[in-house]
Amino acid sequence: NVSAWTWAANASWALGRDAEHDAAVARLAALAGDDPSRAAPPRLLDLVTTGRWREARAYHDSVAPRVPDPMARAGLGLMVAQSEQLLGRSAATRALMAKSYPPFVARDTSLARRVRVVDEQLAFYERILLHGDTAGARVALRRWIDASGIERWPMYERGTANLAFEYALIGDAATARARFAAYLAAARTAGADTVRYLKASSAFGLTLDAAIMLAEGKPADALRRLRMVADTSDGGDLIADAFMPAVYLQLGQRDSALAVMRRWVETRDPRRFSIDQNFYATPRALRLGCALADELGDLAARRALCGRLVELWRDADPVYQPYVRDAQARMAREAGRPVTR
């Protein structure tokens, strides 16, 4: 007799970690019966984690109105928001995230404020992950911090370790290192579970340390950390794969970077949602991998990466379309067709 939200959380955990994913889906569906509050989370998570993102949105829209529990309904919204972002549909992402935040973040009482926070957050990731625009991302990060008021939040509530990860992404290693240290210090006063999750030797801590080392220009050290991540926990190999391409590129090992990006795009592992790296790794793998495969003359990788880019972003926002046209041109050259832009 658990709440719908507890059921949704447990279903997500089970699907994210069960090696027999299809069997887990079937078991959860049998347990859920006809109750949409219990049937929807495992079904939607199955679609999201296996890369069927357009199906995920259609299913969400058909079932969410029949889920009475607002927390469970908001959880479904946040799940499918990730799918919309990966499809390059930012307006839909913003709408779903703003609508789904209230049950989770009580301090965000104003819809206008929620929309602004989501806008600035997505603008940051779009600038740095899609376009590689460090200067633009730095401005967006400042706007996101100001809009959210995150600096006034309790330290343990501040996402991605007090924004250390975001500062590492824009290359501000000193700020990232200081913020992570402050976060770890605050975690020591929290509960045992929090400390276990946040400590420097956890998968989370090692990954963040690797990201900061990369910003410090220490790719060899970052590589050693990520190899440790791969051995630390279930999903560690996926966490490492999300960050390995950037490390290999800084080391000048472009073939290795391409191999990891191709593996990331072609592997649909149900654990991926639970480690929340899709949002970070997929746009970079598509954008960089398509071009890199072409530069290296790897035709199979080019077909895989450029083809997946076109498939996912064919109806994405206008800002994505230059990448779609570029990928189409690269594939057209291989096929001997005229290149049109």
Query: What is the residue-level pLDDT of the chain in tens, covering all 341 positions?
Result: 345 445 554 555 555 554 566 666 676 667 666 777 777 877 887 788 777 889 999 999 999 898 887 777 887 888 888 788 889 998 888 888 777 765 444 444 565 666 677 778 888 888 888 888 999 999 999 998 888 888 887 776 677 788 899 999 999 999 999 999 888 887 777 654 555 555 556 778 888 999 999 999 999 999 999 999 888 766 778 888 889 999 999 999 999 999 999 998 887 776 665 555 666 788 889 999 999 999 999 999 999 999 999 999 999 999 899 999 999 999 998 766 554 44
Integer angstrom CA distances of residue 131 from 6, 40, 85, 142: 38, 35, 15, 18
Torsion from C-alpha of 304, 308, 311, 313, nearest 10 degrees:
-150
So what's the pLDDT on residue 115? Answer: 66
So what's the pLDDT on residue 132? Answer: 87
Other residues' Cβ atoms within 10 Å of the Cβ of residue 259: 17
So what's the pLDDT on residue 24? Answer: 66
SS3 content of the chain, % helix, strand, coil (to 5): 80, 0, 20
So what's the pLDDT on residue 299? Answer: 93
So what's the pLDDT on residue 121? Answer: 81
Alpha-carbon span 341 to 326, nearest angstrom: 8
- The answer to whether 248 touches 263, Cβ cutoff 8 Å, is no
Q: What is the DSSP letter of 338?
A: P
What DSSP letter does each residue of 13-52 carry, written as one string? HHHHH-SSHHHHHHHHHHHHTT-HHHHHHHHHHHHHHTT-
Alpha-carbon span 278 to 230, nearest angstrom: 17
Contacts of 60 (CB under 8 A, 6+ apart): 40, 44, 76, 77, 79, 80
What DSSP letter does each residue of 79-107 carry, written as one string? HHHHHHHHTT-HHHHHHHHHHHSTTT-TT
Q: What is the DSSP letter of 155?
A: G
So what's the pLDDT on residue 198? Answer: 55
Torsion sign over Cα 255, 257, 263, 265? negative
Other residues' Cβ atoms within 10 Å of the Cβ of residue 237: 18
